[in-house]
Amino acid sequence: MSAPIHIPRRTLDRWRSELSDWMDADAFRLRVDQIIRPLSRQVFFGQAGLAFLRDAWIAARAATALSSDLVRLVPADRPDFEIQIDGEIQQFEATEADQEGRRRGDEHEPAELTPDPAEKWRERFEAIPAALDRVVTKKIGKDYPPGVGLMVYVNLGCYGAFLDEGFPILQSGTAKAKDKFRIVFVMWEGTLYKLWEDGRPASSQWQYSRMDDF
């Protein structure tokens, strides 16, 4: 088996610079997908220096879900991205919640579709509280400019089997972030949930998945 292609630093710098310029939300999403789709799993998750692309993937879907006018990555270390809606700029820190110890860069892409038993769905669903606790605890320990929001992508899909049970788990799992971040969103199962705003519970939701995601 041939080794995965290593993306040169100059290419990464060019991509990051491009995605740090303000773009229309749909154009940003299209460009992010154009960059990411040709990359193998081993490169996307295994090569150092590609975290900004994973942030850009989150930013792209959040921006289109919220009908943003513009979106871009933030060139500084933190926060990760910002969107503009009706002239107002909102900044966000992005993070991903997943099963503990998972190393996706070491996972091989299957040659064909394989069954995903229902007990695995439940296993992933039951991993959500601990996954949220890990990433939220890490983020609230850092310093951010005033007014920054938190955007958590929960990469623990259950094919929509536990949606009714899921919302209260997402909200309680992010409660520690409500006083650190002005607004807290979670992306899960193709839906963007607003869970906290100005320290108070919220319950709005928007779809971020599209047919061209598949």
Average pLDDT estimate for 178-198: 97
Q: State the pLDDT at residue 79.
A: 96
Q: What is the pTM of this model?
A: 0.90
- Residue 2: pLDDT over 60: no
Q: How confident is the model at residue 111 (pLDDT cuts 50, 70, 90)?
A: very low
How confident is residue 195, by pLDDT bands cut at 50, 70 and 90? very high
> How high is the pLDDT of residue 109?
52
Specify if 165 maps to a domain.
yes
pLDDT of residue 102: 56
Q: Tokens at residue 9, please?
A: 């630093």
Taking a C-beta distance cutoff of 8 angstroms, is the pair 156, 187 a contact? no
pLDDT above 70: residue 106: no
Give CA separation, 21 vs 15, 16, 30, 84, 185, in Å. Answer: 10, 9, 14, 12, 23
pLDDT value at residue 161: 81
Give the count of domains, the chain: 1
Range of the domain at 187: 9-108+115-213
Residue 142 lies in a domain: yes
- Identify whether 181 is part of a domain: yes
In DSSP terms, which residues pair with 83 in a beta bridge?
Answer: 71, 90
> Is residue 2 a part of any domain in this protein?
no
Which of the listed ranges 42-51, 151-160, 194-203 does the model predict with the highest average pLDDT? 194-203
The answer to whether position 3 is within a domain reads no
Does an H or E element contain 186, and which?
Answer: strand 183-188
> Given this model, what pLDDT does residue 105 score?
42
214 pLDDT more than 70: no
Tell me, yes or no, whether 28 lies in a domain: yes
| Residue 4 placed within a domain | no
The answer to whether the beta carbons of residues 177 and 184 sit under 8 Å apart is: yes
